[in-house]
Amino acid sequence: MVLPKKFYRRDAATVAQELLGCILVKRDTTPLTGMIVETEAYYGLSDPASRAKHAKMAAPMWNDAGTAFIYMVHGHWLFNIITMPKGSPSGVLIRAVEPLKGRDVMMERRGTGISNLTSGPGKFTKAFGIDSSHNGMKVYDRKGVLYIREGRKNFEIARSGRIGVREDLPVPLRFYIRGNRFVSRP
């Protein structure tokens, strides 16, 4: 079942944790799927690491829940999903997925083997062919190019501080499936 819009209209940390184990689907020449294994939660203007402070670039953060927000950092596209109702900027960064279907396509795009394929936000988006053309898509639309459906839930969730931020909030907002080999390494 595809996760409904109301799933995303909640606190970013809650959504980030509950996305773990869910399946990201991308309609492509060859359909691609991956189980989400690592996420980070970001909040609005009070979060020192949030993109919400960059008004022009972060305009999509002010959109409604379930909207894809894709932007480039250090030459890599990052895939985020907006949480909370429209006007309350917060979101979840998908940091890593476990590749399921379409691995050959993913390996060709990345030019690497399975062990290093999707273990980081830029690696994952390159493997899936996600770029700025996907910005603004609704991830709850089963007829769309990108959507997220329910997955498995029998794993242990670990948490830590967010990776690669200059200034962080005092609560750990990175969530990942403990022991999964596709989780990025800080």
Residue with more model confidence, 33 or 162: 33
Residues 155 and 98: beta-carbon distance below 8 Å: no
CA 91, distance to chain mean position in Å, is: 9
Q: b vs e for 82-107, b when ≥16 Cβ sit within 10 Å of the residue's Cβ?
A: bbbeeebbbbbbbbbbbbeebbebbb
**Residues with Cβ < 8 Å from 120, sequence gap 6 or more?**
95, 96, 184
Look at residue 20 in the predicted model and tell me its pLDDT. 98
**62-117 pLDDT tens trace:** 678 999 999 888 899 999 999 987 767 789 999 999 999 999 999 999 999 999 99
Domain spanning 5-177: CATH 3.40.50.300: no
Report the predicted TM-score, pTM, of the whole model to 2 decimal places.
0.92
For the chain, give every domain's residue range: 5-177
